[in-house]
Amino acid sequence: MQVAIASDHAGVELKAALAEWLIARGVSLRDLGPQDGQSVDYPDYAKRLGDEVVQGRAQKGVLICGSGVGVSIAVNKVAGVRAALVSEPLSASLARQHNDANVICLGARIVGEAMARACVQAFLDGEFDPGDDGRHQRRVDKIAAVRASSTP
């Protein structure tokens, strides 16, 4: 599985730590930057990561900013992205299981490195379950329909 990771300046240290940890675990990683703590605009990195996921260059994505809120709002504007802002592993797992999330967002000022690792692990290990009656798939389809039917 190819995983993309990106952040803004507030998340660059957590991103670097997660990238090192993921690579050590054998994950094929695409680090989309930034590489230093100079101020950047998080929507640029969110779009870059979202495009990587929807174009199939990465199957999943991890985005980090100070709170996680900004990147989650921005990346969810990319058609085909289903991003979840998480701060603990159960939400990360359920985002995969029930919502077929393909991106998780983390707040570097909210979660520590150990909790971030636990969230990423739960996200990457999680699998989508369409539901025995198809309810989760139906809801994911409705999410896509909302995007397709909305007007700018």
Q: Which residues are annotated as a binding site for D-ribulose 5-phosphate?
A: 8-9, 66-70, 99, 109, 135, 139
**Binding-site residue positions:** 8-9, 66-70, 99, 109, 135, 139
Residues in the chain, total: 152
CA neighbor of 104 nearest in space, from 46, 74, 63: 63
- Cβ-proximal residues to 65 (8 Å cutoff; 6+ apart), any chain: 7, 8, 10, 11, 42, 71, 105, 107, 108
Please confirm, yes or no, whether 98 is among the known catalytic residues: yes
Q: Which element (helix H / strand E) includes 16? A: helix 12-24
Known catalytic residue: 105?
Answer: no
Given 65, 105, 119, 136, the catalytic residue:
65
Catalytic residue among 98, 105, 119, 136: 98
* Spatial contact of 40 and 139, defined as CB atoms under 8 Å apart: no
Return the active site residues: 65, 98
